[in-house]
Amino acid sequence: MIQVQNLRVSVEWKEILRNIDIAFETGKTYYLLGQNGSGKSSLALTLMGHPKYQIQEGSMTIDGENLATMTPDERSHRWLFLSLQNIPEVRGVRLGEYLRTIYNRNLSAGTKALSPFLCRRYLTTLTKELSMPESFLDRDLNVGFSGGEKRKIEILQMKLLNPRYIILDEIESGLDVDAFRTVAELLSRVKTPDNTLIIITHNFRMTEFVKPNEVIILKNGEIAERGGGELVEKIGVGGFES
Ligand SMILES: Nc1ncnc2c1ncn2[C@@H]1O[C@H](COP(=O)(O)OP(=O)(O)OP(=O)(O)O)[C@@H](O)[C@H]1O
Ligand SMILES: [Mg+2]
C-alpha cells in the first residue's frame, strides 16, 4: 500500500499541493481527476520523486517504508512505474537494449538476468501479444513513433517489469478513437489482484474498460471530493464545478 498523509508540496517556493491524504491499496484502481492545473501530474511526479517537487509537510510510505526519502531509482526498484504525460525520445538507445537493461536492473529475488538472445525471444513474444512489429525493438527509444505506438511501448514495459504500482498520466493523450480503445483494452489486461493502478485521465470512457474502486477529484492542489464510479457520471453530466 502507498499511504500519503497530510502532504504539502511546493515547486520553486510555489505551493502546488496541500492537505493530501490518500491510501492506494494493492489490487485496487484509483482515478485522479480534476481540471487542468489542479495538481494531478504534480502528485504523480511527487510520488515518483521528481527533484523539483519538494515535500514541505506530511509523509508518503510504500509498504510501510518511507517513500519520500527514496531516489527515483529506488522507487522503481519498489515496482513503482510512472507513464509520463509527455514521453521523452532518446536518440542512440535502441528500444530492445533499453528494455533488456531495465529488466535486468529490476530483477526480483531469485530471478536470473536475461542474455541478449533470451531477452530478444521474450520481447518478441510480448510484441506479438501487443500486435506490434518486432522491428520496433531495433529502433531508437520512442524516436519517430506515433502517439499510439509510444503508448504501446509503455504497456510493453509494464508487461516486462510487472510493476506493483502503476501511475498513468493521461495515457490517452494523442490517441485516436481506435488507438484509445486498443490501449484501454490492453490496460484492462495489465490489471491484476497484485497491482495498483492510479489513472489520471480526461477521457472518462477509460472507466468503461478499467473500473474504478475510488475516484479522487483534485481542485487547486487539494482533494475536493472523493467517491466511487458514480462521481465520474456526475462530472460527465455537470462538469467539475457540479
Ligand atoms: N515545475 C513547475 N514549475 C512551476 N509550476 C509548476 C510546475 N509543475 C507544476 N506547476 C504548477 O502547478 C499547478 C498544477 O500543475 P499540474 O501539472 O500538476 O496540473 P494537472 O492537474 O496535471 O493539469 P493537466 O490536466 O493540464 O495536465 C499548475 O498551476 C502548474 O503551473
Ligand atoms: Mg497533468
CA of 17, nearest ligand number: 1
Please give all residues whose beta carbon lies within 6 A of any atom in ligand 1, as ranges. Answer: 11-12, 14, 16, 34, 36-42, 52, 85
Average pLDDT, the chain: 93
Question: Binning pLDDT at 50, 70 and 90, where does residue 217 land?
Answer: very high
Question: Binning pLDDT at 50, 70 and 90, where does residue 54 land?
Answer: very high
CA of 202, nearest ligand number: 1
Question: Binning pLDDT at 50, 70 and 90, where does residue 112 land?
Answer: confident
What pLDDT sits at residue 90?
94
Residues in the chain, total = 242
Phi, psi for residue 102 in degrees, rounded to 5: -70, -35
Atom of ligand 1 nearest to the CA of 39: 18
Distance, CA 17 to ligand 1 centroid (Å)?
Answer: 10
Mean pLDDT of 50-70: 95
Rounded CA separation 86/89 (Å): 10
Closest CA to 19 of 11, 34, 33, 9: 9
What pLDDT sits at residue 77?
82
Q: Which residues pair with 33 in a beta bridge?
A: 217
SS (H, E, C) 14-72: EEEEEEEEEEECCCCEEEEEECCCCCHHHHHHHHHCCCCEEEEEEEEEECCEECCCCCH
Question: Binning pLDDT at 50, 70 and 90, where does residue 140 land?
Answer: very high
In the chain, the domains with their CATH numbers are 2-87+164-238 (3.40.50.300)
- Candidates 40, 84, 201, 235: which one to mutate for ligand 1, based on the most atoms within 8 Å of Cβ? 40
Distance, CA 115 to ligand 2 centroid (Å)?
Answer: 38
Phi, psi for residue 183 in degrees, rounded to 5: -65, -40
